[in-house]
Amino acid sequence: MGLPALEFSECCLDSPQFRERLRSHEAELEKTNKFIKELIKDGKSLVAALKNLSAAKRKFADSLNEFKFRCIGDAETDDEICIAKSLQEFATVLRNLEDERMRMIENASEVLITPLEKFRKEQIGAAKDAKKKYDKETEKYCGVLEKHLNLSSKKKESQLQEADSQVDLVRQHFYEVSLEYVFKVQEVQERKMFEFVEPLLAFLQGLFTFYHHGYELAKDFSDFKTELTISIQNTRNRFEGTRSEVESLMKKMKENPHEHKNISPYTMEGYLYVQEKRHFGTSWVKHYCTYQRESKRITMVPFDQKSGGKGGEDEAVTLKSCTRRKTDSIEKRFCFDVEAVDRPGVITMQALSEEDRRLWMEAMDGREPVYNSNKDNQSEGTAQLDNIGFSIIKKCIHAVETRGINEQGLYRIVGVNSRVQKLLSILMDPKTATETETDICAEWEIKTITSALKTYLRMLPGPLMMYQFQRSFIKAAKLENQESRVSEIHSLVHRLPEKNRQMLHLLMNHLAKVADNHKQNLMTVANLGVVFGPTLLRPQEETVAAIMDIKFQNIVIEILIENHEKIFNTVPETPPSNSQLLLSRKKSTDSKPPSCSERPLTLFHTAQPSETPLRIQAQRHPSHRPGPCSPRHQALCPPPPRPATHPPSARRCGRPGLCTPVKQNTTRSSPSRQAPCLRMFIHPRSLAGWKGPSMERQD
């Protein structure tokens, strides 16, 4: 098992379990820091001590062989596995070089020492600084909170309100510092997968260049070197998308943390101060408490946030009753009494605020608690794919394949948003959408057409590969055997509704043609997976763990592209059961499919900024006569969708046709960003213009 994902939603609770997971990340960073420090020391010794080259190289190789990577999540991609075993491969190469007695070594400081020192100083050093700030804010928050809770309730109301406001400010600052620290820790853990290994790979390449008798050994190593370079680049590309998603989620948590609470198995949980009787009086001990309404079990864990350790044994009792403590009956504020079935006497507890006490009271007396609804239990709709939708996608594909298949950065470089929306409004106009023979005019740029295709797929009410199968596809991508992955994904694809599978087949055939021309358009199967993974297989709930699975979404798309003929043109060896077929088919049709002409055409219309998206009904041309499907379109005729309910405000839009002249947009493209690459490994042009799968330009 790898390192557990650190959810931002747990920063507010600051539970013992969250601190344990955070401590495992800190230990891994410290381990990496010590190893890099030792590795830098060994590298300098290797450069300085040419006379002791043999011993220094073997020690360096042994250090590499002992280090093991740990990734975030419960599984690793093929690229991560390749990167993880790369250090052992490096160690083998170094031992072989020692056997050959090669002694020349140059430029080691530039290609190895400097990048490692930079990573250790800028990344791991920044993480340590963030930890110091986090520990300082933790101590400050706990001190202020304890001082605040010890205020007498007999003080003036204005003084109490001022004290409450001060605690809220300190609590908010502690929460923000906690979020930033968790974000930085996970960022460094992800960065080390490529920023740490890449200098080592460059160093080995330098050794191959300068060793007189190392030609044959370098040639034997070239296959793994190529595979590792691709794995590093794929990991880097996935990291860019993952980092932006995690950063976006962190910003959402900062702006409104209450809307992103973690789904908990407990009815209520959090810190409470419990009054304990002593021989010399009473004391208030801080506990992390959880409560389950079904079993009425209260669990109390004595825990000190400052030290991050337990202060005693856990205790669990069964709730009998809960009563709010009157203000004039106790010196402390926010108190309530709890009676337990299996413990004599009354347990007096102090909440952290009036609102916190209200939530505990509501949970314990059986009233409905305030929680976010569980999204996993919500019903999810099937993507509505009608004749107009198929027509739009086919027109975009035809335009790309006929006049833009070799354009560099295809599907990766996005178009101007205003032009994309205008093209979509034209394509989705019922008057032009039914004209199946009309092509998209040459005045529309290829990047605008590709962005329109991706935008239309994202407009569907659910992803093309459906929420209900999202976890199954991810699990299939995590299988160790490649043949098992293909087989499982093959079976899952045939469990999709007919319309979804047809659209997916159409899209994968097109992407395979794009990948076949990767030497011209620079879009490999891996790059296409990065672009279309989040669009076709996005999760229903946005969490850090889900973002970490984006790399496996990309792998699913890669498998679909590489094996599209087998997956879509053959029946899986293990056909789905009748119940599975009934589940998937029921979402697509409830009756025998009629002819093409008898089917109503529906689509999801993209409204103008002042409008609400409307689901509208397309009209058939009056000259169109009912009849059976033509052989050309018979395979693409979807089952009839259920009739759409038209809002009272629905209206038809009179937009211009596909060939309406459009003023040429003069917006300057944003500067391309070229990812760093290794000399002699990756051509710089292969990375030009890369911005990640979800970056849109604004006009």
656 or 298, higher pLDDT: 298
**Inter-residue contact 492 to 476 (CB < 8 Å):** yes
Crossing angle for the helix pair 470-477 and 550-562, nearest 10 degrees? 80
The fraction of the chain above a pLDDT of 70, given in percent, is 73
Residue 264 has pLDDT above 90, yes or no: no
In angstroms, rounded to a whole number, what is the distance separating the alpha carbons of residues 605 and 360? Answer: 46
210 — pLDDT class (breaks 50, 70, 90): low
For the segment 522-549, what is each residue's pLDDT rounded down to a tens digit? 999 999 999 999 889 888 777 777 778 8
Residue 319 phi, psi dihedral angles, 5° rounding: -70, 135
**Which of 68-82, 314-328, 347-361, 391-405 holds the top average pLDDT?**
391-405
Q: Full-prediction pTM beyond 0.75?
A: no
pLDDT of residue 214: 66
> What proportions of the chain, in percent to the nearest 5, are helix, strand and coil?
55, 10, 35
pLDDT of residue 436: 52
Task: Give how far Cα 620 sits from Cα of 432, 601, 623, 656, Å.
Answer: 11, 8, 8, 18
DSSP secondary structure code for residue 124 in this structure: I
Residue 610 has pLDDT above 50, yes or no: no
**Three-state SS at 303:** strand
Residue 228 has pLDDT above 60, yes or no: yes
* CA angle centred on 473, ends 486 and 533, rounded to 5°: 95
579 — pLDDT class (breaks 50, 70, 90): very low
pLDDT of residue 255: 78
**Rounded mean pLDDT of 85-93?**
83
**Rounded mean pLDDT of 408-435?**
83
In angstroms, rounded to a whole number, what is the distance separating the alpha carbons of residues 188 and 183? Answer: 9
Residue 635 has pLDDT above 50, yes or no: no
Maximum distance among all Cα pairs of the chain, rounded to whole angstroms: 97
Residue 602 has pLDDT above 90, yes or no: no
Residue 640 has pLDDT above 70, yes or no: no
DSSP secondary structure code for residue 686 in this structure: G
In angstroms, rounded to a whole number, what is the distance separating the alpha carbons of residues 205 and 208? Answer: 5
The pair of three-digit structure tokens given for residue 546, joined into one six-digit string: 């889900």
Residue 669 has pLDDT above 50, yes or no: no
**Inter-residue contact 692 to 531 (CB < 8 Å):** no
* Range in 126-140, 517-531, 645-659 with the lowest mean pLDDT: 645-659
pLDDT of residue 595: 37
In angstroms, rounded to a whole number, what is the distance separating the alpha carbons of residues 4 and 13? Answer: 17
Residue 641 has pLDDT above 80, yes or no: no
692 — pLDDT class (breaks 50, 70, 90): very low
**Three-state SS at 141:** helix
| Partners of 346 in beta bridges | 339
241 or 298, higher pLDDT: 298
N- to C-terminal Cα separation, the chain: 46
pLDDT of residue 619: 35
Give every CB contact of residue 162 below 8 A, 6+ residues apart in sequence.
none
The pair of three-digit structure tokens given for residue 222, joined into one six-digit string: 């070239």
669 or 507, higher pLDDT: 507
**Rounded mean pLDDT of 318-329?**
82
In angstroms, rounded to a whole number, what is the distance separating the alpha carbons of residues 400 and 402? Answer: 6
Residue 454 region, left (φ>0) first, then alpha (ψ -120 to 50), else beta? alpha
**Inter-residue contact 386 to 638 (CB < 8 Å):** yes
In angstroms, rounded to a whole number, what is the distance separating the alpha carbons of residues 587 and 496? Answer: 9
Give every CB contact of residue 666 below 8 A, 6+ residues apart in sequence.
none
pLDDT of residue 311: 66
Amino acid at 629: C
pLDDT of residue 47: 75
In angstroms, rounded to a whole number, what is the distance separating the alpha carbons of residues 352 and 168? Answer: 11
Residue 463 has pLDDT above 70, yes or no: yes
DSSP secondary structure code for residue 573 in this structure: S
Residue 104 has pLDDT above 90, yes or no: no
* Range in 13-17, 138-142, 397-401, 680-684 with the lowest mean pLDDT: 680-684
Tell me whether strands 335-340 and 346-350 are parallel, antiparallel or unpaired.
antiparallel
pLDDT of residue 77: 78
609 — pLDDT class (breaks 50, 70, 90): very low
Place of tokens 């990640």: 692
The pair of three-digit structure tokens given for residue 617, joined into one six-digit string: 């009904």
**Rounded mean pLDDT of 299-322?**
82
The pair of three-digit structure tokens given for residue 401, joined into one six-digit string: 């394949």
Name the strand (E) or helix (H) holding 287.
Answer: strand 281-292
**Rounded mean pLDDT of 616-642?**
37
258 — pLDDT class (breaks 50, 70, 90): low
**Rounded mean pLDDT of 394-412?**
92
**Rounded mean pLDDT of 419-434?**
80
HEC sequence for 77-94: CHHHHHHHCHHHHHHHHH
Give every CB contact of residue 242 below 8 A, 6+ residues apart in sequence.
190, 547, 548, 550, 551
**Rounded mean pLDDT of 638-643?**
42
In angstroms, rounded to a whole number, what is the distance separating the alpha carbons of residues 68 and 81? Answer: 11
**Inter-residue contact 554 to 694 (CB < 8 Å):** no
The fraction of the chain above a pLDDT of 90, given in percent, is 17
For the segment 467-517, what is each residue's pLDDT rounded down to a tens digit? 889 889 999 998 988 999 999 999 999 999 999 999 999 999 999 999 999
How far out from the chain centre does Cα 187 lie? Answer: 13
In angstroms, rounded to a whole number, what is the distance separating the alpha carbons of residues 333 and 319? Answer: 22
Give every CB contact of residue 663 below 8 A, 6+ residues apart in sequence.
none
**Three-state SS at 668:** coil
**Inter-residue contact 114 to 206 (CB < 8 Å):** no
pLDDT of residue 693: 41
pLDDT of residue 247: 82
Amino acid at 439: D
The pair of three-digit structure tokens given for residue 638, joined into one six-digit string: 């979807």
51 — pLDDT class (breaks 50, 70, 90): low
pLDDT of residue 106: 64
pLDDT of residue 68: 80
Residue 289 has pLDDT above 90, yes or no: yes
**Rounded mean pLDDT of 403-430?**
88
**Rounded mean pLDDT of 579-604?**
39
Rounded to the nearest integer, the mean pLDDT of the chain is: 75
In angstroms, rounded to a whole number, what is the distance separating the alpha carbons of residues 537 and 507? Answer: 14
pLDDT of residue 618: 34
Closest CA to 188 of 95, 71, 346: 71
